[in-house]
Chain A
Amino acid sequence: MTYLRSKFRHPSLPKNDLGYTVAHYEGNLSTLCAGCGHDSINASIVEACWELNIEPHKVAKLSGIGCSSKSPAYFLSNSHGFNSVHGRMPSVATGAYLANRDLIYFGVSGDGDTASIGMGQFVHAIRRNLKMVYLVMNNGCYGLTKGQDSATADLGSKSKAGSVNPFEAIDLAGMAIELGATFVAQSFSGDKEQLVPLMKAAMLHNGFALLNVISPCVTFNNNPGSTKAYDYVREHMEVAALVDFVPISSEIRATYEAGNVQDLLMHDGSTIYLHKLAKDWDPNDRLSAITALHNARKRQEVLTGLLYINEDSTDLHSTLNTSERPLNQLEQAALCPGSEALAALNKALH
């Protein structure tokens, strides 16, 4: 089967400050199932990058294995992508980030790729506060191998074949907050309004930014009884706060009522305005965020929005005191000590 996408774009498509239309941020035609939540997320990524005036070649897309991990081919075709091995995307991202601190690292993973085979690397990327966006397209099942339960499937959730999941789900957002992640958000693939500003904020966060996005598997986990089905998620989604992201260059101010709005200042000077809906919850407080997550789960609801942020986050390069100039751009003269140093070393080994 061949997929062809029309190259025609309407001449009056709007351009961003860099002079690019949205088309410049699109990827190859998706080969995911029609209606897959992942494709909606990909569309949000395209929109977020276009609106944020990000130069596509300054983004590196990274993924592991699975339906979700195929996604990087379907957005930002002017960015380099690295579709690595199962569960190992965080290590590849770590190395890439060490090599060049000037790019934005956008990691895409799934619930199998993160919560099972990739748990070890996921946890350690958080521990190092690796500066990257780590987006989990979370559908509670293994789509590419035809629908087995994953480790994020909820206890009691029913699969398409009718079996009931007997195990507790791993709560990636809660775990990430516990581990010290400096930016943790949850969202739903069908909620672009919420997803796009969260993505923008995540891309500008100075540290590890987890976006755990419920993204229903239309083919294998969209049946009655599944807690990751479209209908179920829509009905059980609880929004912690309405989010508006305002880049540093912009003057626009969201029109939320005073008193309910919390300003969060990003590393680069941009602002996130949170219009808080959840009570007794403070996005700067880990304990409060974890409690809010627990309470939502008790109500069998999915708490979405920016759940926790540490605005003073410092990234791995400052921890390692690395050169401001990216390591991959250092000249040989800065790297090779040369023959004179070697002569001195020889002398010390006599």
Chain B
Amino acid sequence: MTKINDFVVRFANVNGTGSASANALFTRAVFRMGVPVTPKNIFPSNIQGLPTWYEVRVSEKGYLGRREGVDLVVAVNPQSMKKDYADVLPGGYFVFDSSKPLPPGYDREDIEHIAIPLMELANAEYTDARQRQLFKNIIYIGALVTLFDIEFAVIEQLISEQFRGKERLIEPNIKALSIGKQWVLDNMNPETFSLSVERRDLLKGKILYNGNSACALGAIYGGATVAAWYPITPSTSVVDAFSKYAGKYRVDAETGRNNYAIVQAEDELAAIGMVMGASWNGARSFTATSGPGVSLMSEFLGLGYFAEIPTVLIDVQRTGPSTGMPTRTQQSDLLSTAYASHGDTKHPLLLPATPKECFEMTAMAFDLTERLQTPVIVVTDLDLGMNDHITDELTWDDSKVYDRGKVLSAEQLDTIYGDANNNGGPSSQGEGQLTAFNGRFGRYLDVDGDGIPFRTIPGTHPSRGAFTTRGSSRDEYAIYTEDGAAYKRNVDRLALKFDTAKELVPQPEFIAAGQRGSTSEVSKNSKDGIIYFGTSTYAAMEALEMFEREEIHIDAMRPRAFPFGKAFTEFVASHDRIFVVEQNRDAQFRSLMLIELGIASSERRVSPTGLSDKLIPVLNYDGTPITADNIYRQVKEAFL
């Protein structure tokens, strides 16, 4: 049986041997053939010597989640070979380096063994030890490309693009590819090989991009000028990319000076402290971290919430708790981000599912955090952040103006105090709002009923608008107070502000049962619903198609942010049974729903009674990205 554009290839390597770039080359070659492809890098928390896997799923149907079962494995790591061997599906292929004989036990009859003397081939051509190592990888790529019938010109082109500026490296790489190709032509009959890549044109308007770079670019487009950070996997490449893009887009052509500042902080506490200092002072600022960093940043996040300081935090989740598995993925920081810090504290979360959304939501986070004057956390994960994904081309509307939120200018302060030269200077805030101050600026006065006060930036006015920002209780005029009534007015206003946030954050997307394509209309075609978000999205959508084929109809909702707005609540209220798909052990998103939808409020239509029974967890938490098969199996149980 021939599998055209529908298979999984696994590369099993030793890390630190240069395999990552070789394997990425294979992915990009498939992409250039116009066929949807999804790579997953499953790597160790180590620099050299431990097993690392790179799984590539090729799917003409456009399924971009991870799939179980491997059709071909390139097994060049003796440490993991036994397991890699066992994981090959019947009818699949086991590619190994035959320079040394295989140990006994590799005698499956349901798979084909492809014995390529990789080391011998590399040693015959190259004398330098490092080159032998590196080009061994390129040799197997050359062999695979030939076996899969990928156009050789495509891979040649990729090589020349990759080494632009280092042209002397092009020739030896092409040479290595040719060695692999020649070996296949001399030793195999590619006609009998059952996996192939056929050229298609399915990727118009698509790019291959990773979430961390996309977040960094979003920070550039969103106007971030100050980045403070502390290295931690898997978020480090966010700031690496920000630094790269800033160097490209943010150096003043005339002066050669930087329109940005990046500081590697002494720890995560300092990183977010710097972000808050910069944001308080009117610059757009962000930091990126992962779970352990969120724990350390919690104190400051509480200050940001209570003192109402804009802050953008990008949390690239990894497998917890504690140090956990630092290089594996999970969606397990939902509660620790939503409720980071002591006291009644909560934070808006943005939940991108694609690199394009990483770009858009990070850029948007700067508007939101300044509009809401509260920390906004972009919650991604290792899978989204560090793996390449097929995503729509990025777009930007040049007419868009940054929303700096409620910030008073010197002229507006004069207007409030009735000092002025008041020739009605430029005022972006309504006159009514300024009048509502009644002649005195109050940093924490809610003059227009949305719970969001006006702020002033240090240095604005010689004698008006100064105040002390603090994490202790204060009144509407920012004066320290221990008066219970004033405290209560303040925290009630913060709750109101959180309500305002519900409709400002990105709203959910829905797919009605039996339909293709998402809309913003709450779907109500079925009594059954399913909720998924972030990197569970692709696998869940694939699982939904599996159910449709069996005439099982489920309405879907993909929340894109916390707190939950009206559409979210309506979806929950209008379904009898809802599967909640997420990648953590404790069903944290489900808990978030139980907590938030259960809070007494007149506008919420979901009765907490029965909510717990209605929400059925669908979980994956072994550190690898969730698969459609896994979701299918767990949901199917409920229908048996």
Contact = CB atoms under 8 A, between A and B. Distances in A.
Interface of A: 24, 28, 55-58, 60-62, 72-73, 77-85, 88, 90-100, 102-103, 120-121, 123-124, 128, 317, 320-324, 327-330, 332, 334-339, 341-342, 345-346, 349-350
B299 A85 contact: yes
Nearest to B221: A336
B483 to A, nearest CB: 11
A211 B256 CA distance: 35
Contacts of A330: 225, 259
Contacts of B466: 56-57, 77-81
A83 B259 contact: no
Interface string B265-276: 111011111111
A321 B269 CA distance: 25
Contacts of A90: 270, 273
A337 to B, nearest CB: 4
Contacts of B459: 57-58, 60, 80, 100, 102-103
Given A98-B278, A328-B225, A81 B468 contact: yes
B79 interface: no
Given A78-B463, A85-B471, A350-B207, A95 B275 contact: yes
Contacts, number: 226
B260 A80 contact: no
A61 to B, nearest CB: 8
B234 to A, nearest CB: 20
Given A91-B272, A328-B225, 16 more contacts: A56-B466, A57-B458, A57-B461, A80-B459, A83-B472, A91-B274, A94-B274, A95-B273, A96-B281, A100-B282, A103-B458, A320-B261, A321-B257, A322-B261, A328-B281, A345-B394
Nearest to B478: A81
B174 to A, nearest CB: 21
B250 interface: yes
Contact of B261 (A58, A327, A346, A350): A327
B469 interface: yes
B274 A98 contact: yes
Interface string B556-585: 000000000000000000000000000000
B220 interface: yes
9 contacts: A57-B460, A83-B471, A95-B226, A95-B281, A95-B285, A96-B278, A102-B459, A322-B257, A342-B396
A120 B266 contact: yes
B48 interface: no
Nearest to B273: A91
B376 interface: no
A92 B256 CA distance: 27
A238 B303 CA distance: 41
Contacts of A92: 273-274, 276-277, 280
A88 B395 CA distance: 39
Count class of interface residues, chain B:
35 or more
Contacts of A99: 225-226, 277-279, 281-283, 285
A122 B499 CA distance: 39
A321 B250 CA distance: 12
Interface in B247-304: 249-250, 252, 255-263, 265-267, 269-285, 299-300, 303
A339 B269 contact: no
B402 interface: yes
B129 interface: no
Contacts of B462: 55-57, 78
Across the A-B interface, give the 6 residue pairs with the lowest CB-CB distance, nearest first.
A95-B277, A91-B273, A99-B283, A81-B468, A95-B274, A95-B278
Given A78-B462, A82-B468, A94 B281 contact: no
B493 to A, nearest CB: 20
Contacts of A88: 269-270, 273, 299-300
B258 A80 contact: no
Contacts of B470: 81-83
Contact of B469 (A81, A94, A322, A336): A81
Contacts of A124: 265-266, 270
Contacts of B396: 336, 338-339, 342
A75 B597 CA distance: 46
Contact of A80 (B262, B300, B468): B468
B401 interface: yes
Interface string B394-432: 111110011000000000000000000000000000000
B393 interface: yes
Contacts of B220: 335-337
